[in-house]
Amino acid sequence: MILVGGRVYAPGFPGATAVVTDGGVISFVGSDEAARRAAPGQTEIDLHARLLTPAFVDAHVHLIQTGQVMAGLGLNDARSRDDAVQRVAAYARHHPEAQVIIGHGWDERSWPEPLPPTRTELDRAAGGVAVYLARVDVHSAVVSSTLLDRLPGVSQAIGYRSDGLLTREAHHLCRGSLDRFFTDQQRRSAARTALQAAAAQGVAAVHELGGPHLGPIGDLTRVRDVASELGMGVTTYWGELATEPTIEWAQQAGVAGLAGDLCVDGAIGSRTASLREPYADAETCGARYLSEQQITDHVIACTRAGLQAGFHCIGDDAVGAAVSGLRQAAVTLGVRSIRAARHRLEHVEMISDADIAILAELGVVASMQPAFDAAWGKPGELYEQRLGASRAQNMNRMGTLQRSGVPLAFGTDAPVTSLAGWGTVRAAVQHCQPDQRLSIASAFDAATRGAHWAAFTDNAGTIQVGALANLAVWDLADSGLEEPGGLPRLDDVPLPVCAATIAAGRFIYRLEW
């Protein structure tokens, strides 16, 4: 196709107004007239002075869970425990066919009585329907008796409480077993809902992070099938320790790695992130799920098998353990082998200067979620409540990581935070700690080229000849550009609105214009 009449963000081609795509890649960048000469007789699409950029990549999503939340019960704005329970009752009345009520997003911290609903309250509200209500960080949940009766092993697992609150292994076991309440078509429909919503945000490719505690292995196939139908790019990861069977399966199944949500720890909000010092508001240091030796062995096995290794790590103890494991693997295999593997750490919310230096040396990708800082980094918010003011000021150190040469890839961790494009960039640009803020260009790069690079897609995320034709068209409304040929302003103005998303040279989303 020939796209003309636009404002093209292509630093290597200042003043460009047109792009030609051929066979899924970009074949020309330049002026309108030169584009017509380069592809004579082809149908033109006039952009009417809209901005054309590389499309976004979401480097950390859980698509089926996101789609289920979008179709389920939202609790992000629940005002109290009673409000949450009443919403469950209303959902049960309006969806009498439901086998299970999936809710997400409750956060007890601002409630008059800062306690989650109880199992007994959910039983009364749902009238015998199974209920699963995930906290906003999705590392704890409250569940009904009906659900527990269907999952008898949960009550014997670490993290089970008789009032229905589940954390740690009990929550992982419960969440990983919810698939039995949904048909294959329902799970595919959830993936489709999430992918279409992502495309409407200018996202043309995603990294799906699966694992036994999230759902069955078959979900990776479902996600790939639906993405193929829609024309979107998807890279899949499976979060399970490397063994001979898992490595053999991963190589045959075409996953990029045994990585992603392979959890070293939990989350700050649920107080299961593993800390070196106790939480400020509870006498616990959280929970560590993997030892340094397990991490080291996993990295070595994945590197030798040609797979990416990666871990979910949030607390400073967990991040330190992951970095130590990577360092020990480099002692065994050599720095060059580790760098070539592009291993990943997800979230990396608490990290020391020494550990940052090791990540830079080993070329390990920091796959981060700027929306975490936007949601929880302000004074008086979650980080300060759980960790105290001093530790809260050293969370999500994106600026330091970037300046130190650590490769960054940005995503949302949906459904933990909402699917987003420019919202992700703005959160990084407006980090609560000024010294951790990124420039618009650097944040945009981490949400496009950097995220592609993290999944070994090296020819994408820029507008240049030979690059994958993953593009997005934007209405700027009142935002305008920082400078001619640049990116949008992202201060106190409306974010750009996606007018079209193109994946490998094909429209996957388009408004009428």
pLDDT digits (tens, 9 = 90+) for 244-271: 999 999 999 999 999 989 999 999 999 9
Q: Kindly state whether residue 201 falls inside one of the protein's structural domains.
A: no
Which residues, including other chains, have CB under 8 Å from residue 390's CB and lie 6 or more apart?
A: none
Q: Do residues 272 and 322 share a domain? A: yes
Q: What are phi and psi of 238, to 5 degrees?
A: -130, 120
Q: Kindly state whether residue 490 falls inside one of the protein's structural domains.
A: yes
Q: Do residues 133 and 89 share a domain? A: yes
Per DSSP (E only), the strands in 98-161 are: 100-106, 130-135, 140-143
pLDDT, tens digit, for every residue of 192-242? Answer: 999 999 999 999 999 999 999 999 999 999 999 999 999 999 999 999 999
How far apart CA 101 and CA 512 sit, in angstroms, is 36
Q: Which of 128, 160, 181 is the last residue of a domain?
A: 181
Q: Output the pLDDT for position 210.
A: 96
Q: Which of 181, 203, 220 is the last residue of a domain?
A: 181
How far apart CA 407 and CA 428 sit, in angstroms, is 15
How would DSSP label each residue in 58-88? EEEE-HHHHHHHHHSEE-TT--SHHHHHHHH
Over 80: is that where the pLDDT of 22 sits?
Answer: yes
Q: Output the pLDDT for position 164.
A: 96
CATH code assigned at 492: 2.30.40.10
Q: Output the pLDDT for position 484.
A: 74
How far apart CA 501 and CA 474 sit, in angstroms, is 9
Q: What are phi and psi of 22, to 5 degrees?
A: -150, 120
pLDDT, tens digit, for every residue of 458-474? Answer: 999 999 999 999 999 99
How far apart CA 468 and CA 474 sit, in angstroms, is 19
Q: Kindly state whether residue 254 falls inside one of the protein's structural domains.
A: no
DSSP 100: E
Q: Kindly state whether residue 266 falls inside one of the protein's structural domains.
A: yes
Q: Do residues 432 and 449 share a domain? A: yes
CATH code assigned at 439: 3.20.20.140
CATH code assigned at 94: 3.10.310.70
Q: Output the pLDDT for position 477.
A: 75
Q: Kindly state whether residue 169 falls inside one of the protein's structural domains.
A: yes
Q: Kindly state whether residue 331 falls inside one of the protein's structural domains.
A: yes
Over 90: is that where the pLDDT of 480 sits?
Answer: no
Q: Do residues 49 and 170 share a domain? A: no
Q: Do residues 365 and 470 share a domain? A: no
Over 80: is that where the pLDDT of 425 sits?
Answer: yes
How many folded domains does the chain comprise? 3
Q: Do residues 450 and 470 share a domain? A: no
Q: Output the pLDDT for position 152.
A: 86
Contact between 29 and 16 (Cβ < 8 Å): yes
Q: Output the pLDDT for position 412.
A: 98
Average pLDDT, the chain: 96
Q: Kindly state whether residue 398 falls inside one of the protein's structural domains.
A: yes
Q: Output the pLDDT for position 192.
A: 98
Q: Which residue has the higher pLDDT, 327 or 485?
A: 327
Q: Kindly state whether residue 168 falls inside one of the protein's structural domains.
A: yes
Q: Which of 150, 181, 212 is the last residue of a domain?
A: 181
Q: Do residues 275 and 334 share a domain? A: yes
Which residues, including other chains, have CB under 8 Å from residue 405's CB and lie 6 or more apart?
A: 360
Q: Do residues 38 and 68 share a domain? A: no
Q: Do residues 411 and 265 share a domain? A: yes
pLDDT, tens digit, for every residue of 48-93? Answer: 999 999 999 999 999 999 999 998 899 999 999 999 999 999 999 9
Q: Do residues 162 and 93 share a domain? A: yes
Q: How confident is the model at residue 43 (pLDDT cuts 50, 70, 90)?
A: confident
For residue 103, what are the CA distances in angstroms to 106, 246, 300, 455? 8, 32, 39, 31
Q: Do residues 71 and 155 share a domain? A: yes
Over 90: is that where the pLDDT of 369 sits?
Answer: yes
Q: Output the pLDDT for position 479.
A: 67
Q: Do residues 367 and 386 share a domain? A: yes
Q: Which domain holds residue 167?
A: 63-181
Alpha carbon 184 to its chain centroid, in Å, reads 23
For residue 93, what are the CA distances in angstroms to 190, 325, 330, 377, 500? 22, 51, 57, 38, 38
